[in-house]
Chain A
Amino acid sequence: MVYDAVIIGAGVTGGMLARELMKYRLAVCICEKENDVACGASKANSGIVHGGYDPVPGTLKARLNAAGVEKLFETAKLLHVPVKRCGSLVCAFSEAEATRINELYERGLKNGISGISVITGAEARKAEPNLSPEVCAALSVENSGIVCPYELTIAAVGNAMDNGAELKLNFEAEKITEKGGVFTVISKNGESVKARYLINCAGGYSDKIAELLDDKFFEIIPRAGEYMLLDKTEGSRVSRTIFRVPTKEGKGVLVSPTVDGNLLTGPTSAAVASAESRETTPEGLDTVARLASNSVPGIDFRGVITSFTGVRASEKGGDFIIEPSKRVKGLLHVAAIDSPGLTCCVAIAEYAAEQLKNMGLRMEKNPEFNPRRENPHAFREMTDSAKNEYIKIHPEYGRIVCRCETVSEGEIRDAVRRNPKTFDIDGIKRRTRAGMGRCQGGFCAPYVMKILSEENGIPMEKVTKNGGNSYMVSEREGE
């Protein structure tokens, strides 16, 4: 079959665009090179809904950020993705930085955002008592918030699939041809898909996809950001996201609560060789600890439960690239989506859909489109008595598998079955939080492996952490 549109990349951009396109009567397929969705920058970022004071006025970033905040909060609600409008403070530690705060305020006004104000250090500390005594001024941003980025991606793809979109995993585009208005995308494994419109949402690899069509007019400059995530015991150090004054390299090391009640610190910003460069380094982790402690003294870094590196898909122009190819008809690039890409994802999807319409894609409203996704956390949000009733009918919800995050067998089985299905340990972790807690899967991994093996009908030795050869165990003894 020939799809109306094939999206390359199941990150938050590709996922949200797929969902947007399902609002119309279209046949859509998402091709993802990994074993799951949300495996690139969408799983490893700050998870912030940015207020919109930072982008340079007049840029696509500024425009989509201003429009995107409310759209994101709204969509997250429809998709049952945890979000919190917790607000943020951008903190100045010197007079020079205080001047920058005033500039950011002015910039925010130019970008048309509301709910921002410049406050004194004392006012900032009144709002956030654990803030450094050295903070001398701050930009208070009321409308910013936090969201779980990988859950948002999973939910977007899942909702798109519930509405008819298809997802091909382990599909790494290796060759793309175009003939008579039809693209053929051939994967490394020799599979192929055909489409009339092709959308490049490949994140850190979007320039490589462009290259496959001889249309590489931009270059992704990957920048790595290292993070440390702390236990819930540290989760209430701050109630807002605490930023430092942004620099050319990014928004700097932040300290933020997460929607799950943990504390997130990071990121650093370092040029790296590729989007694969997801190592943490002693220097990077030290920098995160030092700057986070500088903003919020007293964070107990013995509470770190994991550290990770995300790679931003930056581009030297500094703005998003959301435009049709000038050389290849039917090709749309949605590239260079670095910060505030997550905030803008819904606005980006709408903007990209508009571009596709202008490119000639016939877009007829789909009256059956269901904008909602069933709440995957319905069980954990129930009261004790409701849980009790539910367990009586579904006993597998009474068997707790992950003790740190209190996740039941029923929730894990449910996560394997619903769109987008998962086949690996990390997929379970991102969907249910099993293994996401303080023991990091030490106790539950063997149980989760068994469930994955049963549900997907594969032997234990084929269960992986995250696809490829990330096998957990080798052959059974004596076999």
Chain B
Amino acid sequence: MLDHDIVVVGGGPAGMAAAAAAYDAGVKDVVILDREEENGGILRQCIHNGFGLHKLGRELTGPEYAAVYKQKIEERGIKTYNLTMVTDISADRVVTACRRDGIIKIRAKAVILAMGCRERSRGALNIPGTRPAGVYSAGTAQKLVNCEGYMVGKRVVILGSGDIGLIMARRMSLQGAKVEAVCEIMPYSGGLTRNIVQCLEDYNIPLYLSTTVAKIHGERRVEGVTVARVDENRKPIKKTERYIPCDTLLLSCGLIPENELTRTAGIPISPVTGGAIVDEHRQTEIAGIFACGNVLQVHDLVDYVSDEAEIAGAGAAEFVKNGSLAAANLQTLPGNGVRYVLPQRVSSEAKEDISLYLRVTQPFGRVCFTVKSGDEVLSTAVRLKAAPGEMEKLNIKSEKLKTAKEPITVSLEELK
């Protein structure tokens, strides 16, 4: 059994930022456990640019953004166990991991969960038809194309307009494939506006909204797909079906926080975010276990992942130093037009201002967000537009919280 103050599970952007922040907050004995050969997580396969605009004030590629944090880890001398797969985390913070030199167990004073997320698979989407080769999740295709240097196909249909799908539409086009269509079951795209413009419009790739893949064809390799418009229950409308010949179907239909270890540790999970329920330090319902990044909630920008991870890292450090954190006595709740609010609990004793992160239920025009505790307004914010694909961030001053007694509700009102 090894002992460390803080164990970070996952060496992607969240894990690295959390480890560095914990170190900077005064806890030097921090280790990262990561399953790959090197840190960086999924950023390593995201060779497109657009990372870091908010956080670092410059536009970087995924590997470049990861390099910034890798350097932070190196400068601080934070140890990473690579090629290390965590197989169990217990509620009393013993982390078990499998390595090429054996199984290790680490007893930690605090654990930070940063395992990221996975893509929804064809099976989970339950698309009817045959089961040929050539059906990939967008991220798997991205890894094969960007990291391994193999093309996955020549004639492509993409289901789902999530950001990875949009990025892959451009990537496949640049590599000489023909992207026949991007189909989105919802009446709006789940991706960032900038990706719709830069990845689809610039390459004349059609985006079909309220449209899905109704059937996959092909005995051994994909030969085509039947696409159809969907009704209000998202069921395909028979008479709108049409066949598109293709050899590849990429799926970009949502990300699922990878919380299997979290569940076995007995940590309560929010059915809405798919991640742990946390307080303003990103501490889960089990004291001393924190979570950040895509394992906590799926982000659209890595910049926000880093912010969240720094909060978790600092929180874990404070927990290690003090042995506990102030009880988060106020619940936060989604109100009108808001799907979820994170953190789900905050403390009225918070020493610093708190940011609430949230997603809206559907696309809106100009809106005003109101954060209330009972009848007391804690903060308001106006946005020119709001969409489910773009996470919102609202700030509350710590002095406003001091007097708050009732649960905090965030709601929006559409402005004319």
| B140 contacts the other chain (CB 8 A) | yes
| B103 contacts the other chain (CB 8 A) | yes
Please report the C-alpha to C-alpha distance between residue A473 and residue B175 in the assembled complex, in whole angstroms.
13
Kindly supply a per-residue 1/0 record for chain A positions 415-429, scoring 1 wherever the CB is within 8 Å of any chain B CB and 0 otherwise. Answer: 000000000010000
| B233 contacts the other chain (CB 8 A) | no
Contact A279 B130 (CB under 8 A): yes
Smallest CB separation, A208 vs chain B (Å): 17
Please report the C-alpha to C-alpha distance between residue A304 and residue B96 in the assembled complex, in whole angstroms.
29
| B129 contacts the other chain (CB 8 A) | yes
Q: Which bracket fits the contact residues of A? A: 35 or more
Known A-B contacts A388-B102, A395-B100; the reply to A472 vs B121 at CB < 8 A is: no
Contact A307 B126 (CB under 8 A): yes
Known A-B contacts A403-B35, A446-B140, A471-B133; the reply to A391 vs B128 at CB < 8 A is: no
Q: Name the CB-closest residue of B to A396.
A: B100
Kindly supply a per-residue 1/0 record for chain B positions 220-248, scoring 1 wherever the CB is within 8 Å of any chain A CB and 0 otherwise. Answer: 11000000000000011000000000000
Contact A471 B221 (CB under 8 A): yes
| B186 contacts the other chain (CB 8 A) | no
Contact A398 B98 (CB under 8 A): yes
CB contacts under 8 Å to B, within A228-285, are 228-229, 276, 278-282, 284-285
Q: Which A residues are CB-close (under 8 A) to B98?
A: 387, 391, 398, 400, 406, 408
Contact A469 B220 (CB under 8 A): yes
| A460 contacts the other chain (CB 8 A) | yes
Smallest CB separation, A284 vs chain B (Å): 8
Q: Which B residues are CB-close (under 8 A) to A399?
A: 83, 85, 100
Smallest CB separation, B215 vs chain A (Å): 8
Instruction: Name the one of B100, B130, B137 contacting A398, with C-beta atoms under 8 angstroms.
Output: B100
| A317 contacts the other chain (CB 8 A) | no
Instruction: Name the one of B96, B124, B144 contacting A384, with C-beta atoms under 8 angstroms.
Output: B96
Instruction: Name the one of A279, A285, A388, A400 contacting B85, with C-beta atoms under 8 angstroms.
Output: A400
Q: Which B residues are CB-close (under 8 A) to A446?
A: 140, 143-144, 147-148
Please report the C-alpha to C-alpha distance between residue A408 and residue B84 in the assembled complex, in whole angstroms.
12
List the one stretch of B60-68, B151-159, B364-372 in contact with chain A: B151-159
Q: Which B residues are CB-close (under 8 A) to A308?
A: 131
Q: Which B residues are CB-close (under 8 A) to A403?
A: 35, 85
Known A-B contacts A307-B126, A442-B137; the reply to A465 vs B132 at CB < 8 A is: yes
| A445 contacts the other chain (CB 8 A) | yes
Contact B236 A282 (CB under 8 A): yes
Smallest CB separation, B75 vs chain A (Å): 29
| A23 contacts the other chain (CB 8 A) | no
Instruction: Name the one of B35, B121, B147, B151 contacting A473, with C-beta atoms under 8 angstroms.
Output: B151
Q: Which A residues are CB-close (under 8 A) to B139?
A: 442
Q: Which A residues are CB-close (under 8 A) to B72?
A: none
Which label, helix, strand, loop or mixed, suits the secondary structure of the B interface? mixed
Smallest CB separation, A306 vs chain B (Å): 3
Kindly supply a per-residue 1/0 record for chain A positions 299-341, scoring 1 wherever the CB is within 8 Å of any chain B CB and 0 otherwise. Answer: 0001011111000000000000000000000000000000000
| B43 contacts the other chain (CB 8 A) | no
| A179 contacts the other chain (CB 8 A) | no
Contact A438 B133 (CB under 8 A): no
Contact B140 A474 (CB under 8 A): no
Please report the C-alpha to C-alpha distance between residue A445 and residue B143 in the assembled complex, in whole angstroms.
10
Please report the C-alpha to C-alpha distance between residue A282 and residue B152 in the assembled complex, in whole angstroms.
27
Instruction: Name the one of A281, A442, A471 contacting B121, with C-beta atoms under 8 angstroms.
Output: A442
Kindly supply a per-residue 1/0 record for chain A positions 458-479, scoring 1 wherever the CB is within 8 Å of any chain B CB and 0 otherwise. Answer: 0011001111111111111100
Please report the C-alpha to C-alpha distance between residue A443 and residue B99 in the assembled complex, in whole angstroms.
18
CB contacts under 8 Å to A, within B70-105, are 83, 85, 87, 96, 98-103
| A132 contacts the other chain (CB 8 A) | no
Contact B100 A276 (CB under 8 A): no
Contact A442 B220 (CB under 8 A): no
Contact A439 B121 (CB under 8 A): yes
Contact A473 B100 (CB under 8 A): no
| A293 contacts the other chain (CB 8 A) | no
| B119 contacts the other chain (CB 8 A) | yes
Please report the C-alpha to C-alpha distance between residue A83 and residue B396 in the assembled complex, in whole angstroms.
57
| B178 contacts the other chain (CB 8 A) | no
Q: Which A residues are CB-close (under 8 A) to B133?
A: 425, 464-466, 470-472
Q: Which B residues are CB-close (under 8 A) to A464?
A: 133, 220
| A392 contacts the other chain (CB 8 A) | yes
Q: Which B residues are CB-close (under 8 A) to A456?
A: none
CB contacts under 8 Å to B, within A357-403, are 384, 387-388, 391-392, 395-396, 398-400, 403
Known A-B contacts A465-B132, A469-B221; the reply to A477 vs B175 at CB < 8 A is: yes
Q: Which bracket fits the contact residues of B? A: 35 or more
Contact A476 B149 (CB under 8 A): yes
What total of A-B pairs shows CB separation below 8 Å?
Answer: 140
Q: Name the CB-closest residue of A to B131.
A: A308
Contact A461 B150 (CB under 8 A): yes
| A75 contacts the other chain (CB 8 A) | no
Instruction: Name the one of A307, A469, A475 contacting B123, with C-beta atoms under 8 angstroms.
Output: A307
Q: Which B residues are CB-close (under 8 A) to A355?
A: none
Please report the C-alpha to C-alpha distance between residue A228 and residue B123 in the assembled complex, in whole angstroms.
9
Instruction: Name the one of A387, A425, A461 contacting B103, with C-beta atoms under 8 angstroms.
Output: A387
Q: Which B residues are CB-close (under 8 A) to A391?
A: 98-103
Q: Which A residues are CB-close (under 8 A) to B154?
A: 474
Please report the C-alpha to C-alpha distance between residue A227 and residue B139 in the assembled complex, in whole angstroms.
27
Q: Which B residues are CB-close (under 8 A) to A461?
A: 150
Contact B128 A281 (CB under 8 A): yes
| A187 contacts the other chain (CB 8 A) | no
| B299 contacts the other chain (CB 8 A) | no
Known A-B contacts A276-B219, A399-B83, A474-B154; the reply to A440 vs B123 at CB < 8 A is: yes
Q: Name the CB-closest residue of B to A466.
A: B220
Contact B121 A398 (CB under 8 A): no
Please report the C-alpha to C-alpha distance between residue A467 and residue B219 in the assembled complex, in whole angstroms.
11
Contact B121 A440 (CB under 8 A): yes
Instruction: Name the one of A278, A392, A396, A406 contacting B131, with C-beta atoms under 8 angstroms.
Output: A278
Please report the C-alpha to C-alpha distance between residue A9 and residue B236 in the assembled complex, in whole angstroms.
39
| B28 contacts the other chain (CB 8 A) | no
Q: Name the CB-closest residue of A to B177.
A: A474
Please report the C-alpha to C-alpha distance between residue A477 and residue B174 in the assembled complex, in whole angstroms.
12
Please report the C-alpha to C-alpha distance between residue A222 and residue B279 in the assembled complex, in whole angstroms.
57
Contact B151 A474 (CB under 8 A): yes
Instruction: Name the one of B103, B119, B144, B151 contacting A439, with C-beta atoms under 8 angstroms.
Output: B119
Smallest CB separation, B243 vs chain A (Å): 14
Q: Which B residues are CB-close (under 8 A) to A425?
A: 133
Contact A467 B220 (CB under 8 A): yes
Smallest CB separation, A298 vs chain B (Å): 15
Smallest CB separation, A404 vs chain B (Å): 8
Q: Name the CB-closest residue of B to A475.
A: B151
Q: Which A residues are CB-close (under 8 A) to B148?
A: 446, 460, 473
Q: Which B residues are CB-close (under 8 A) to A285?
A: 126, 128
Contact B140 A445 (CB under 8 A): yes
CB contacts under 8 Å to A, within B196-211, are none
Q: Which B residues are CB-close (under 8 A) to A396?
A: 100
Q: Which B residues are CB-close (under 8 A) to A304?
A: 123-124, 126
Give me 12 A-to-B residue pairs in the complex whose CB atoms sit less than 8 angstroms apart, sorted by A's number. A279-B130, A281-B128, A384-B96, A400-B98, A406-B87, A425-B133, A440-B123, A440-B124, A442-B119, A446-B140, A446-B143, A468-B220
Question: Residues of A at under 8 Å CB distance from B?
Answer: 228-229, 276, 278-282, 284-285, 302, 304-308, 384, 387-388, 391-392, 395-396, 398-400, 403-404, 406, 408, 425, 438-443, 445-446, 460-461, 464-477
A388-B102, A446-B148, A473-B150 known, 4 other contacts, Cβ within 8 Å: A282-B214, A392-B102, A406-B85, A476-B151
Ranked nearest first, the 8 interchain pairs of A and B with the lowest CB-CB distance are A306-B123, A465-B133, A473-B150, A470-B220, A400-B85, A440-B121, A470-B133, A395-B100
